[in-house]
Structure 1
Amino acid sequence: MHMRNQEERHFGVKMELQEGFRFISQAYEGDRLHGAPFASDEPDPIGEAAAPSTPALLASAVGHCLAASLTEICRHAAMPLRAMAVDAVSVVAPNEEDLPRIRRIDVTLTPTLTQSQSDTMKQRCEMSFRKYCTVCSSLEGAIDVQVRVQWQLERVASTIV
């Protein structure tokens, strides 16, 4: 994320209850809408699981931010990516009061490189990208975020003559 020469940026979400525990949300910054409206719901048995749960949305924000940061670092390192797959999971467990809390978020990033890179170059990218993730860095100390990077090399189909 770039601050665009601003001291602060304000990202908001307007939400309206639809029914049960399902909300429709619209993201915005200032007077500019960001994307299409999206739904969220509570998992069963409280909600109907008709849309992503709030723990899943938090995992999505963390996963997206980490993937964007690694993508940017790879670009600066001249390591062209063909794809980036992300699996982000919020692990929810009861706390001391037996209330559900997010214990940790497990994120697996699978970048697919278009050409082979040295292990040193990949390690250098892995060591630096996380600090550029606004969401992950903001959660530090509150929620444990476990990150794993599984590098892949693009497979080129061979032609049999």
Structure 2
Amino acid sequence: MQRRLSWIFISIAVTIIVVLFVSSSQTYEQQSLVSNLDKILAGKPFEKQLSAISFYYAGSEISIAAKGYSSFVEFFIRKGAHFFSYAVLGFSLFVGLSAWLKRKWLTLALSAGIPLLYASFDEFHQMLTGGRTPLVQDVMLDFTGALVGLLIGYFVMNSIRKRDVL
């Protein structure tokens, strides 16, 4: 892959890290989607079907009965956004670093290690922010997202190299 193109992916990774940092600097109240979801989802679509879902995350029950409809939906939006952000981070790091590092194991290690370290730092940063709770489970969710993105990047890059596109 051309090194110029790799800078685009590295820039995407850095941008995601900056956005995540700014986001974790805000209190939960500043980020809460609940009041907007109350308005947007006033009719509570799929409430009956979603009411059947109940599980524990970090020792807290996640269900409509325990959290309320909008808070339940917000939980999935927030966790999905984290998973997706870290998947893009892992993908961008892997693709961006592939042009610079000749050892595939080092590219894999850095593309997994940087998101893991950042997810850990992000949870520590949240501990310093009012109204936020740092959770090991969130680090695991973020890291899983990064691994999914890294694996997608790995398979995409292998496919491209086999075709000699780059």
Fold match by TM threshold 0.5 = no
Q: Report the structure, 1 or 2, having the larger helix content.
A: 2
When normalised by structure 2's length, the TM-score is: 0.38
TM-score (structure 1 length as normaliser): 0.39
